[in-house]
Structure 1
Amino acid sequence: MQPVDPPASHRPASASPRWYLRLLGTATLDDGQGGERHRWPSRAALLLLARLALWPRRVHPREELVELLWPGVAQEVGRNRLRQVLSTLRAQLEPVGAPAVLQADRHALRLLPGALGCDAQDFERLLAGRRDAEAAALYGGELLPGLYDDWVADERLRLEALHERLQARHTGAPPPPVPLALTTRPRSGALPRYLTRFFADDIALSRLRAALDSAPALVLRGPGGAGKTRCAVELMRSLPQDLPVLFVDLSACTDAAAMAEAVATAMPAAPDTAWTLCERLAATDGWLVLDNFEQLPADADALLGQWLRASPWLRVLVTSRRALALPGLQELAPPPLGPVPGAGLSHEALARHPAVALFVDRARAVRPDFHLHAGNAAAVAALVSALDGLPLALELAAARVRSLPPAELLTLLSGAAGTPHLDLVGRPRQPGAPPRQASLRTVVDWSWRLLPPPLAELAAALGSLSAPFTRGLAQTLADPALTPAELADALDELVAQSLLQRLPELHTDEPARYAMAVPVQQFALLQGTPELRQTHRQRLRQGLLAWAACWSATPPLAEARARLPHLAAALDGADAAFAQAWLGAWRPVLHHLWLDRPTLARLSLLCAGVPAEAVALATLAWQWHLAGDPTEARRWACTALQAARRGPPAARALARWTRLVIDWRDCEDPPRLRRHLDRALAAMPLDAPALCSLLRQLDGAVAEVHGHDPARGGQRLQDALAAAQASGNAYLQLACRYRLASWLARRGHAVEAMAGLDEAARQSEALGDRETLSSVFNTRGNLQLRLRRPAEAAASLREAVRQAWEVRSGLDLAYALWNLPRALARLPGQAVLALQLLAFAAAWWDRHYGRLTAAERRFVRRVRRLASAQGEPGQARWLWASAESWTLDEAVARALAND
């Protein structure tokens, strides 16, 4: 059936513009003078004008339009096509002397208000006004027939659903009078007024603005103090001024009836008192903002769903700490204040960080002379990081600057048991201020009281974990009666309540990780009795040991890396027996992972002065070696050798390997080293292939470096690979293949070496072995330098730095920082950075991994001459001396700054 256009008398008042676009049942453009255009210059021109007409109040980013009109096309190609289509439309809509219709700049397009009418828009406006007969006459058929783009199909289905509801409710009675809409109430009176500046990440905020047109209902969900209310208000203020907004605070409501009463009270009075609230909302054209929804029960979600289904033109924005059970609801997060500032940020970059800017702005409100300077920048950055960049926490902390400088405030926030974070970060009660935001404790307590007891008990148990954790680790802390399926449901509910965060996966090999914000974790830690907290720590210790007992020949490295930060909590109240048992059980992964120095010191303290097994002591020595403390490493290696005398052959072999691998680089007596290594190889147990592989790898390195026998070195690496394959440990096999590729590179077989390194990189990615991946990129960079490709070498070595820094692998990071300056010195404009990085790397290596060899000192002199030749000698000496005192954070930041 051909669509029938309504007569002019049925057109709504919005048809007064010169141009009127019909999209229902047809695709025609009326020039307002009796002429219609049925032929379009192109399909893209029709779709572009339809998109603008269906959302006339919105500013449309060019990138979004390109993706909608030509999905998957390169942005530059799409932007060129968009310019051509826009030029064609302007030639048609804006002839010489005619008023403008389109407004465009380099970033976005929009329709000028009142320049173009559209039947689809008028159809919905008539429905909102209960003018059913006129709406039915205007609906000429489906939207844009014959076009099946995704966004067209979605909008077509929505309009068809509205038309079906119109037919279902049509009774033939005259349409009711139009009730008073929200437009009678000024927008400025509906929204709260703030006297402070608003800070947010610009990119995240722009995405939120773009989402306002994508769904009829949106929820800003986040933890208490995340700035949801302020963000909602700012979003509403960014809308066109002619769009009405009604703001309703629900913090005093506890059920659906109270919510309905609050909305009805806030709405303007209707001319007909017989109208129900649902009918009044059905005639509403604008935004309804429902603030503080989290304490309302599930029937409030259902009531909100009823309002939306009955209101074709109503848009709803909800702020809530919990998720809403409402189909079609689009859930968004309030814009963060950017990533937590790291220690390597410069003073200028720190001043531009939104979280720091918010803190400084609020601090100036109570102390006008406060400003960010070199003396307090580090303390402010650490303070912002300690508070997780939470806007409310930053405001509360900034209020304390009236009497405390940032450094002293940071010291107080580092107090015992987490109490300062919850109680010190607060403010006196202010008139009109909500009591739930008086301090961090009251903020979290508001959400905590909404939890059922079993969920609160689980949250309290998870409070003992101060770092991100996996579901497997959470299972060890939960009630033993809780099944894995029930735990998954409980974690999902805690995420829905904004008391737990699901972290994004940085790599495909990572398991799902969860984390509590600092205030929530400290509040949870203080729940329950000291005995209950000790029970949680004991469960954690048992879980760490029991999990290691289930490992296969290839241990789960990614999961182990996720659980390792929780060792510090497990050591709280632990004894020497647990420390030794843990070191022994986790040895297969501790060959790849490394512990931080405070944890190492705690383990050393527990193991000192008590009888210990050689395996645990050798593992402790290896970890001190990775941490860059040769004195501690040798001390514990000697202790392991003494303990191994009364142990099994495998323990003796491991202790010998540990001492040899720590000493071999700076050995002053190579023949003596050779004798000790031969003795270890002769006593090597045949039933320990993994240990055989490690000893043969060391044998190959000693043969090549001290024995000057590269052929024997290559053969020993082949033997090591065979032993690794017999062990079934994929990480050991990967290490052997990487070392074989490095051996080929040193022998000058560049093509074979590069192929081997590429394969090792792919395997490292698949296994999640970031430490070996850093070594692969390090060797690749050195090989590219030999091939005289310094730019590629610098990129590879920077990637080696990045991979090592990501997992905080100290030894791999030292190697990468050592090699990077040689590539940078051969690039134009990089001489100063090369000189400084080399100065730091040489000093760092000398302090942590033994004195430099003669060959390494020659390497330093060669690179230093190369870099100094591009500048003044006096300046080079000053740069060298200043960089020697850099921190590791600063060196990594400088190395990656120009990447």
Structure 2
Amino acid sequence: MQPTEPAAPEPTTRAAPRWYLRLLGGSTLDGGQGSELRRWPSRAALLLLARLALWPRRVHPREELVELLWPGVATDVGRNRLRQVLSTLRALLEPAGAPAVLQADRHALRLLPGALGCDAHDFERLLSSRRDADALALYAGELLPGVYDDWVVDERLRLQALHDRLTERQPEPPAAAAAPHPQPAPELSRPRRGALPRYLSRFFADDIALSRLRSALDATSALVLRGPGGAGKTRCAVELMRGLPPGVPVQFVDLSACSDLAALEAAVSAALADPTPTAQPLAERLAATDGWLVLDNFEQLPPAADARLSQWLQTSPLLRVLVTSRRGLTLAGALELSPPALGPLPAADAALEVLARHPAVALFVDRARAVRPDFHLTPGNAAAVRALVGALDSLPLALELAAARVRSLPPAELLTLLLADTDSASLDLVGRARSAASERQASLRDVVAWSWRLLSPPLAALAATLGSLSAPFSRGLAQALADPALGPVALAAALDELVSQSLLNSLPTAHPGEPARYLMSVPVRQFAAAQLTADERVVLRQRLRTGLLDWAETWPPTPPLSEARTRLPHLGRALDDADGEVAARWLAAWRPALQDLHLDAPTLTRLQALLPSCTRPGLLSEATAALAWQWHLAGHQAQARTQARAALSASRRAGPPARTLARWTLLALDWRTCEDGPRLRRHLARALAAVPADAASLRAQLLHIAAGVAEFHDHDAERAGQALQQALAAAEAGGNAHLQQSCRLRLATWQARRHQADEALAGLDAVARQAALLGDWEVLSSVHNSRGNLLLRLRRPADAATSLREAVRQAWAVRSGVDLAYALWNLPRALVRLPGQAPLALQLLAFAAAWWDRHYGRLTAAERRFVRRVRRLAAAKGEPALARRLWASAEGWTLDEAVARALAND
């Protein structure tokens, strides 16, 4: 079969392709000499060939094609399907003896140059050559009608926009009575005033959030889309308007150049003007308007503009308004919402295809391909892309600006430069060439500066101060850093204004009763930090240290854990320029809360380096004991014991309270794994005898250990119960409600082991209620853990698994290592009794045993017997060889992976 000239006119002389694919208005494949394919072997075959034909010069990675053709399918399944479709296309396009059309290897596919023509590709080529008439003749209709895959719809809309622009600039046909004189060449027509902007790129958004916004359009006559610069407010507004039923009037007004009421009215009047001059007042035209008025970039207008807009709405019963703004509006009856966020990122260990489907990641990859067609998401760059998207808070504009740099910078290098907190020049790195139309959004610096200049000087000063905080913070901590002249009420109003101006994010609280938390995005924080001088930064660090210390030294007997948990992450920044005396005072003051809360390893290392310079023995001993307990909670037992011995050594130069605290620390670290019962009892007796009369909480903690020694070393349940009752009485005398709940929890657990199930369940319920009120999520994890063990004794493995999974979830939420280790240790006992869960039970136990051995000390003989029993039970439900492989495969899991597996089927 000889190739024939395709129907599309060629702008230059070239060899005609053997095959010609028509995608505009239909889907046919022309092979010349009257040979035309209209019925395709499969839908996938059509879409694969269309993808290759629309981007003929590009190399298409197989993983990308799999995700486009079969979204969400497993990689191996998708690659197998792609091979089958490719084989079908080869049989169609490359019969025996015919020249090759497709080039493929293990990684990618492409079309051989000149082998296949396409009308959509030729349409754009004709447009670029200014052959408008030929382009119009070639455009037979929309791209691939009836196909609604995302990438097809995006390309369809882009080509439709090009076609619309082409028709708009065509000259009007001459009138019949027109003079026969030659007419001048018509100017290219401009979009009419008030028309919606056109975008040639794909729109990405969370589908559920976008659907809620569409529903909101029907529920209000005034919708305000408020969000920070670059959040996609304008694009979202346009997409919402394009989704309205046909025939609904929409007028779009760009207010970015307006700064007063006169400019606002002039811009709206221009958008509503008829083609012929009119003297009708604006208010009358608005009163007669039936449809939507989109007011874009409202934030820089004065408050009087809000009142004027309210007036228009009150006097115009059919008018509906959609406003985009970086600040909130005082607009009666308006519904204020945010543009649809691109959503939280998947877990760090999520599958590649899950990450690729996330809207923010998909947007970044899409825009990166615009400047580097061979870019795609791979196992090698997935972690860097995810981190980069997270660092940019998934802001659409920031992602677009960053993606433009992929032309020369890999994502990992771009991320490193962006997170250089001390170098605000990274804000300029994420940018593009300036133009008059994009002055406000040429770089991240310009995006933030546009909002910053709208702040009053006092508000800008507060924002610069808060920029020094790189973790979520509470209003209490903000008060400690702010100008002392700013009172609590004024500060609350200022924080609200910064949230309203979209420069500060108000974070959702995970639990009732938690304090409100705030956080600046990375670009805003970097811009804010750049507004401070070096001396001002030093002053702020001093205020932060003082605030963290003074606040803790005024605690009541029950430390406020919720607020303390919010302030704790800021300690690392406060330790810059600190000395050993300050570090020791901080640890001693915070010790009541640090019985439950957890410091990260870098902060622990920093504190450990500072403490030796403290010259006060009593303070040094107390601080070192607190540091030892923190190392234990972090799972570093060697450092914990070293610091506990150092605390005991320092206590010899201090008084009895310091020595008792140091002994309690050593006992708390050793009693569980110590095989020498008599030695434990001697040390306990010595410590209890030395407890000062005013140290009731410390006595309660020692009696806690005494109960454990009596029950698990001496197997004396009655003496253990008596010790727990004494511990609870001491905790109540000390007034620490958190310690009281720990004692009540231990009592309920003791009752469960004594087969007092009803009393134990009632006690656990009471502890859970009180722990939730106190914000003590670590104790709440232990409650679910104990409940799970009790339900196992009652032969209710399904309910037990539910409770133990909740223990895992609660401990993971607050990163409580010890509680997490206990929950992961106990969960396999429930799972192994459930149908089909034996393999997972075996793997979780393998991980838990190895994790406990590495971080919390050698397993006891009883615990090793427990491991053998569960392994035998799991092996009995399957093949022994498989059980051994499962065990070996899980010992090297990360903690993240183990938690994900534990909660996967919840």
Aligned match of 1:772: 779
- Give 2:236's aligned amino acid: C
Q: SS at the partner of 1:247?
A: strand
Q: Can you list the C-alpha shifts for 1:215-242, whole angstroms capped at 9, x where unaligned?
A: 2111100111111111111111110121
Task: Give the corresponding residue for 1:714.
Answer: 721
Q: Distance between the aligned counterparts of 1:226 and 1:467, measured in 2?
A: 21
The structural deviation recorded for 1:676 is: 1.2
Q: Say yes or no: does 1:733 pair with 2:737.
A: no
Amino acid aligned to 1:565: P
Instruction: Quote the Cα distance in structure 2 between the aligned partners of 1:189 and 1:246.
Output: 5
Residue 259 (str. 1) matches residue 271 (str. 2): no
One-letter amino acid of the counterpart of residue 472, structure 1: G
Are 2:822 and 1:815 equivalent residues in the alignment?
Answer: yes
Q: What is the CA distance between 1:343 and its match in structure 2?
A: 1.8
What are the within-5 Å matches in structure 2 for residues 303-342 of structure 1? 303-342=308-347
2:277 & 2:439 partners in 1: Cα distance? Answer: 39
Rounded to whole Å, the distance in 2 between the matches of 1:733 and 1:361 is 56
Compute the displacement of 1:609 (Å). Answer: 5.1
- What corresponds to 1:238 in structure 2? 243
4+ residue runs over 6 A deviation: 185-189
Q: Which residue of 2 aligns with 1:669?
A: 676
Residue 885 (structure 1) shift: 1.8
Which of 402, 409, 418 is 2:407 aligned to?
A: 402
CA contact (8 A) 2:194 2:272 kept: no
CA deviation profile, 1:796-835 (whole Å, cap 9, x unmatched): 0000001101111111011111111111111112222212
| 1:187–1:787 Cα change, 3 Å | farther
1:377 aligns with 2:348: no
CA distance in 1 between counterparts of 2:480 and 2:490 reads 14
Deviation readout 1:325-362 (Å, 9 max, x if unpaired): 22112111111111133324233322222111112212
Letter in 1 for 2:738: Y
- Give the alignment partner of residue 460 of structure 1, picking from 459, 464, 467: 464
Counterpart contact for 2:581–2:614, Cα < 8 Å? no
* 2-structure distance, mates of 1:779, 1:189: 65
Question: Are positions 1:847 and 2:858 aligned together?
Answer: no
Query: 451-460 or 377-386: which moved more?
Result: 377-386
In structure 2, what is the Cα distance between the partners aligned to 1:425 and 1:608? 44
Give how far 1:545 is off.
Answer: 1.3
Does residue 442 in structure 1 map to residue 449 in structure 2? no
Does structure 1 residue 600 correspond to structure 2 residue 604? yes
Aligned equivalent of 1:587: 591
Q: Do the aligned partners of 2:744 and 2:763 also contact (CA within 8 Å) in 1? A: yes
What secondary structure does 1:289 align onto?
A: strand
Q: Confirm or deny that 1:724 pairs with 2:731.
A: yes
Q: Is the 8 A contact 2:507 2:517 kept in 1?
A: yes
| Equivalent position SS for 1:864 | helix
The equivalences for 1:744-783 within 5 A come to 744-783=751-790
Alignment partners' CA distance in 1, 2:461 and 2:420: 25
Distance 2:539 2:820 in 1: 38
Specify whether residues 881 and 380 from structure 1 end up closer, same or farther in structure 2 by C-alpha distance, changes over 3 A only. farther
SS in 2 for 1:318: strand
SS for the counterpart of 1:317 is: strand
Q: Is the alpha carbon distance of 1:616 and 1:340 closer, same or farther for their aligned partners in structure 2, counting shifts above 3 Å? A: same
Q: Within the alignment, does 1:553 sit opposite 2:557 as a pair?
A: yes
Task: Please name the residue that 2:623 is paired with.
Answer: 616
In the TM superposition, residue 186 of structure 1 has moved relative to its aligned partner by: 9.6
User: Does the 8 Å contact 2:579/2:613 carry over to 1?
Assistant: no
- Residues 693, 723 of structure 1: 8 Å contact kept: yes
1:345/1:893 contact within 8 Å kept: no
Shift, 1:446, TM fit: 0.9
Q: Deviations over 1:453-489 (max 9, x none)?
A: 1000011111111111111111111110111111111
Distance 1:349 1:832, change over 3 A: farther
- Give the Cα separation in 2 of the matches to 1:196 and 1:386: 23
CA contact (8 A) 1:387 1:394 kept: yes
Q: Contact between 1:342 and 1:381, CA under 8 Å: does it hold in 2? A: no
RMSD: 1.7
Residue 286 of structure 1 aligns with which residue? 291
| Equivalent of residue 416 in structure 2, options 407, 411, 420 | 411
Cα distance per residue 1:825-861 (max 9 Å; x no partner) = 1111222221221121111111110111121112112
1:689 deviates by: 0.4
Matched, 1:800 2:807: yes
Aligned-partner Cα distance in 1 for 2:520–2:736: 35
How far 1:710 sits from its partner (Å)? Answer: 1.5
1:503 aligns with 2:510: no
Query: SS state of the match for residue 190, structure 1?
Result: coil
Aligned to 1:653: 660
Q: How does 1:470-481 map to 2 (within 5 A)?
A: 470-481=474-485
Alignment of 1:68-107 (within 5 A): none
What residue in structure 1 maps to residue 363 of structure 2? 358
* 1: CA distance, partners of 2:432 / 2:899: 39
* Matched-pair contact (CA < 8 Å) for 1:187–1:245: no
Q: Distance in 2 between matches of 1:843 and 1:830?
A: 20
- 1:243-277 deviations in Å (ceiling 9; x for gaps): 01111111111111111111112223176722111
Does structure 1 retain, via aligned residues, the 8 Å contact 2:473–2:517? yes
CA contact (8 A) 2:194 2:253 kept: no
**CA shift in 2, pair 1:348/1:826, >3 Å:** farther
Task: Quote how far apart the aligned CAs of 1:188 are.
Answer: 11
Q: Please say if 1:574 is aligned against 2:578.
A: yes
Q: Structure 2 unaligned runs (5+)?
A: 1-189
* Separation of aligned partners in 1, 2:342 and 2:664: 49
Cα distance, 1:562 vs structure 2 = 1.2
Could you tell me whether the CA contact under 8 Å between 1:797 and 1:816 is conserved in 2? Answer: yes
Aligned to 2:901: 894
- Which of 634, 637, 641 aligns to 1:634? It is 641
TM norm structure 2: 0.77
Same amino acid, percent of matched pairs: 71
Match of 1:686 in 2: 693
Contact residue 223 and residue 334 of structure 2 kept, 8 A: yes
Kindly tell me: are residues 358 and 642 of structure 1, through their superposed partners in 2, closer, same or farther at Cα, counting changes over 3 Å?
same
User: Residue type matched to 2:440 in 1?
Assistant: R
Aligned amino acid, residue 218 of structure 1: L
Three-state SS of the structure 2 residue aligned to 1:357 is helix
Find the residue that maps to 1:335 and give its secondary structure. Answer: coil
| Alpha carbons 2:581, 2:615 under 8 Å: kept | no
Instruction: Return 792-801 or 570-579, whichever deviates more.
Output: 570-579
Output one character per residue of 1:666-718: Cα deviation in whole Å (capped at 9) or x when no partner. Answer: 11322222211111111111111010100011111111111221111111000
**Residue in structure 2 matched with residue 531 of structure 1 by the alignment:** 535
Give 2:288's aligned amino acid: A
Query: AA paired with 1:644?
Result: S
Q: Distance in 2 between matches of 1:326 and 1:762?
A: 42
Structure 1 stretches lacking a partner, 5+ long: 1-184
State the match for 2:488 in structure 1: 484
The residue aligned with 2:455 is: 451
Residues 414 and 420 in structure 1, CA contact (< 8 A), matched pair in contact too: no
- Kindly provide the CA deviation profile for residues 716-755 of structure 1, in whole angstroms up to 9, marking residues without a partner as x: 0000000001011111111100000011111222221111
2:392 to 362, 387, 401: 387
Question: What letter corresponds to residue 408 of structure 1 in structure 2?
Answer: E
